[in-house]
Structure formats: structure tokens, C-alpha cells
């Protein structure tokens, strides 16, 4: 009985991490947005929306433009966390370039 439960859990994790299953059934694939900001400054913030063409390449271009305009070099960080309990996102955590950036807490102007 334990063997069957273990096999079921492993199969569930594998299937739920397949990209097409994630987009169609779980959500979070189409229309997902990722917010980045400068680590040492709150002046620069960029929201990546890959499904709309606002991807990492555009973010890098905007970052270079900002650095040329201000004369300050910035390091970007993501403002969204990785949640180990959301096993359906494990594939993205390992493969997606959006999760390769360091985490920094988002600014709260409340």
C-alpha cells in the first residue's frame, strides 16, 4: 500500500511539472508577470510579462538605457519568492531564467 502511494505521489509531481499541464490546468503559465527592481535603489523597477513580449531581453535593454541616463550601475533582483510547497512550480524554479536572480523584498509604500 505504501509503495502505491509513493508511486502515485511521484507520478503526480512529474505530471504536474510538465509545462502544458501547468498552463492548461493549474494556471500561471500564460499571463504570468515577474517584477524586478534594483537591489540598492528603489528608482528602477521592471515588470516582465513574457506573453506580452516584455521579456528578459527587453528588461536588459531598459536597464542599459537607465544606466546610461543616470550613470549608475544597478544589479537587478526579483521581488517574488520561490515557494517550496508549490511543487507544481518546481520545474520553473529549476529551468526558468526569471528565477536565476537573487531575491530582494519588494518596497512597501503603504
- List the chain domain ranges: 30-99
Q: Which tens digits make up the pLDDT trace of 55-108? A: 999 999 999 999 999 888 999 999 989 988 888 788 889 999 999 999 988 766
**Total-model pTM:** 0.67
The number of angstroms, rounded, from the C-alpha of 2 to the middle of its chain's C-alpha atoms is: 35
Q: How far is CA 22 from CA 18, 57, 72, 94, 105, in A?
A: 6, 24, 39, 15, 26
Q: Which tens digits make up the pLDDT trace of 41-54? A: 778 899 998 888 88
Residue pointed to by grid coordinates 523584498: 105
Amino acid at each position: 500500500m505504501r509503495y502505491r502511494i509513493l508511486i502515485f505521489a511521484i507520478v503526480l509531481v512529474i505530471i504536474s511539472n510538465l509545462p502544458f499541464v501547468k498552463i492548461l490546468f493549474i494556471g500561471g503559465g500564460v499571463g504570468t508577470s515577474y517584477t524586478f527592481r534594483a537591489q540598492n535603489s528603489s528608482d528602477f523597477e521592471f515588470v516582465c510579462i513574457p506573453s506580452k513580449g516584455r521579456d528578459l531581453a527587453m528588461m536588459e535593454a531598459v536597464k542599459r538605457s537607465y544606466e546610461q541616463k543616470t550613470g549608475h550601475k544597478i544589479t537587478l533582483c526579483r521581488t517574488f519568492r520561490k515557494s517550496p510547497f508549490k511543487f507544481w512550480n518546481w520545474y520553473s524554479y529549476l529551468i526558468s531564467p526569471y528565477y536565476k536572480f537573487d531575491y530582494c523584498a519588494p518596497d512597501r509604500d503603504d
